[in-house]
Structure 1
Amino acid sequence: MDKSKSDKTPALTPQEKQDVRKGQPPRAAVVHEIIRVQGDKELQRTVAALWWSALAAGLSMGLSLMAMGLLRARLEGVEGAHALASFGYSAGFLAVILARQQLFTENTLTAVLPVMSKPTAGNFGRLLRLWSVVLAGNLAGTLLVAYVMLHLPIFDSATDAAFLQIGHKLMENDSGQMFAKGIVSGWMIATMVWMIPAQEQAKFWIIILVTSLMALGDFTHIVVGAVELSYLAFAGELAWAEFWLVFAGPTLAGNIVGGSFIFALISHAQIRSDVELQESEREKRRAQLAEESKS
């Protein structure tokens, strides 16, 4: 018996065969193109649109600190409290991504792919404009939400203490650790962005899985960390110089390296190699057909 025939389900109708094709996950090139098109649209947005969306994202990221602090305060003394509180880290990311707000670390992949596909001076300029506006908006939002969380009578003393503990825990890292952990965090966010178009129906769970692992591993993220440490700075327990020099600078650099220079570059190189191979095969086929027509 022909094994290749026996391995196939017999008597599929054309509609059923089409259903099988639809059930297959998209090729890497398709995912790349989806993200590239999204990134190109983001690069075309006005400064005002980018700013307000980025500001909203910075405010939304306060939900991560809020959720983690509330869980820590109420799970104090419970075994595995840190692991359970890590799920609170996902709250801000869920709000930002599902609401389609501008988050800087997403754009280390999304907005970079159009530039890698067409590395012109104009595209580099658009990327730097987007990065600077989105980062400024994100940080402005984080500073505002941290100030409000500290100074308005919203939370009980146990929760306020939990917020401070979260910030002090983050500052146990030196600048080198901030950078190294930022690389992992940037790579994880880029992986999440890449996974979502392939499994759109599982977006909610992908976000929770990736971001809760980031919290569990104490990896550093420029926007979430800015909420945690600006709260600490506004409370007078952290110097602003340390905020910028020990945390913000190294973490930002690590996030960019992990998201753009590692994940985005490798992903683009993979697609580029596939495209070059396909073009080479088409050229050989055209040459073969030309030879056959002559003969």
Structure 2
Amino acid sequence: MSYVTPPELAKKMIDAGEAKVFMSTRDTLIRAYMAGAILCLAAAFAVTVTVQTGQPIVGALLFPVGFCLLYLLGFDLLTGVFTLVPLALIDKRPGVRLRGVLRNWGLVFVGNFAGALTVAVMMAVIFTYAFTVEPNAVGQALGKIGESRTVGYADHGAAGMLTLFIRGVLCNWMVSTGVVAAMISSSVSGKVIGMWMPILVFFYMGFEHSIVNMFLFPSGLMLGGDFSIADYFIWNEIPTVIGNLVGGITFVGLTVYSTHARTGASRRVPVAEQAAEEEPVLVK
């Protein structure tokens, strides 16, 4: 059967985290770069579809194609390694240290950002004919997204920051659920179905994804958005990264690990023992 049971799933998650800790710098950067680029091309696609159809649900339905492709190709997003890599440390796998976990996160962040920025520049060139004309409708929409999701939060002060953080938490709760759901099946169709649903939820609900934002906000700056680089990092990227970390490891990684890799002792009496206790004793 293509279904992977939860205990097997937990072991696969820990194994995947361990493998990423010991991956070479070159491979980690290449895989992260391609993951960021593919996901952000899908984001550009989803925004284009939304603008052209006027139906956000259509863009949300189609956006997961990028996530599915990058996962099937074995590329890494920061949101995924936030969830999987710490499990190898928690499980005390030989040679896994906190330094290795932080190294992996740092390399994946750099690779994702480079891939996202590459796509941001390319799409900005397309939307403006190499910056010779005003941005088209999609380019203008990207600029407005950048404004509303930076200075829009800043206008609400601490309440805006809390809202941003919670959106980051909820985002990686869904995204990492997609990563883990893909491991539940050994078939391509099963993996795609498992990934598609939670990714659709996060995108349509407008939750904050640190890698997608690495495309949206640099694009917005290049396409006339009225916000600054400081606005982007302080009022979006940094809180989003922290929220993504908390959401992934807390609501996905640790929950699966604690109940399937380190299952609590059962209070139920085994059937064989129960039968032995109930068997009558013959007195001679």
TM-score range relative to shorter protein: 0.7 to 0.9
Which residue of 2 is the match for residue 162 of structure 1?
141
Q: What is the deviation of 1:129?
A: 0.5
Share of identical aligned residues, percent?
A: 19
**Matches of 1:247 and 1:272 in 2, distance apart?**
34
TM-score of the superposition, structure 1-length normalised? Answer: 0.78
Which residue of 2 is the match for residue 264 of structure 1?
253
Which residue of 2 is the match for residue 62 of structure 1?
40
Matches within 5 A, 1:104-253: 104-118=78-92, 122-152=96-126, 153=129, 157-171=136-150, 172-173=152-153, 174-201=160-187, 202-237=190-225, 238-253=227-242
**Matches of 2:12 and 2:245 in 1, distance apart?**
21
Does structure 2 retain, via aligned residues, the 8 Å contact 1:61–1:227? no
Residue type of the partner of 1:59?
Answer: A
Which residue of 2 is the match for residue 101 of structure 1?
75
SS in 2 for 1:61: helix
Does structure 1 retain, via aligned residues, the 8 Å contact 2:32–2:111? yes
Distance 1:95 1:246, change over 3 A: same
Does structure 1 retain, via aligned residues, the 8 Å contact 2:143–2:221? no
Does structure 2 retain, via aligned residues, the 8 Å contact 1:65–1:163? no
Distance 1:113 1:70, change over 3 A: same
Residue 32 in 1 paired to residue 20 in 2? Answer: no
Cα deviation, 1:132-169, whole Å, max 9, x if unaligned, reads 00011101211221122112438982222233344344
CA RMSD of aligned residues (A): 2.5
Cα deviation, 1:31-67, whole Å, max 9, x if unaligned, reads 0011211221111111111011111111112222221
Cα deviation, 1:165-207, whole Å, max 9, x if unaligned, reads 4434434343222210110111112212222222343211222
TM-score of the superposition, structure 2-length normalised? Answer: 0.81
Residue type of the partner of 1:144?
Answer: T
Unaligned runs of 5+ in 1: 1-21, 286-295
Distance 1:51 1:74, change over 3 A: same
Unaligned runs of 5+ in 2: 154-159, 274-284
Q: What is the deviation of 1:248?
A: 0.6
Aligned length: 254
Residue type of the partner of 1:64?
Answer: A
**Matches of 1:143 and 1:26 in 2, distance apart?**
36
Residue type of the partner of 1:176?
Answer: L
Does structure 1 retain, via aligned residues, the 8 Å contact 2:88–2:96? no
**Matches of 1:218 and 1:138 in 2, distance apart?**
20
Q: What is the deviation of 1:122?
A: 4.3
Match of 1:83 among 45, 48, 57: 57
Cα deviation, 1:226-262, whole Å, max 9, x if unaligned, reads 2111111223422000110000110000000001133
